[in-house]
Amino acid sequence: MAKLRSEPGFADPDAFYAKLVEAHRDLDDAASAKLNAKLVLLLANHIGDPETIDEALAAAARANSPSA
């Protein structure tokens, strides 16, 4: 049974995107990757449910595959 919410959950997705872009401003590629990794780990910890995290990992992998 799917636990991962895939419907929009932001009241203002553009505001979130702007904050995400701003967090990466002036970072080199390594620092940007480190910020992304920290963000993923913090959010995964917040979710806490291994099945939901597995679903999110699978969805992200599918979206990143060459056939996507």
Length of the chain: 68
Sign of the CA dihedral with 52 first, then 58, 62, and 63 last? positive
Q: Is the pLDDT of residue 68 over 70?
A: no
Total domains present in the chain = 1
Structural domain span for residue 45: 26-63
Closest CA to 3 of 38, 67, 54: 54
pLDDT value for 1: 57
Is residue 15 assigned to a domain?
A: no
CA dist 52 and 1 (Å) reads: 10
Alpha carbons 61 and 66: distance in angstroms, whole number: 10
14 occurs within a structural domain:
no
* 51 is a domain residue: yes
Predicted TM-score (pTM) of this structure: 0.81
The encoded tokens of residue 5 equal 């919410």
pLDDT in tens, 14-67: 999 999 999 999 999 999 999 999 999 999 999 999 999 999 999 999 998 888
Answer yes or no: is 54 within a domain: yes
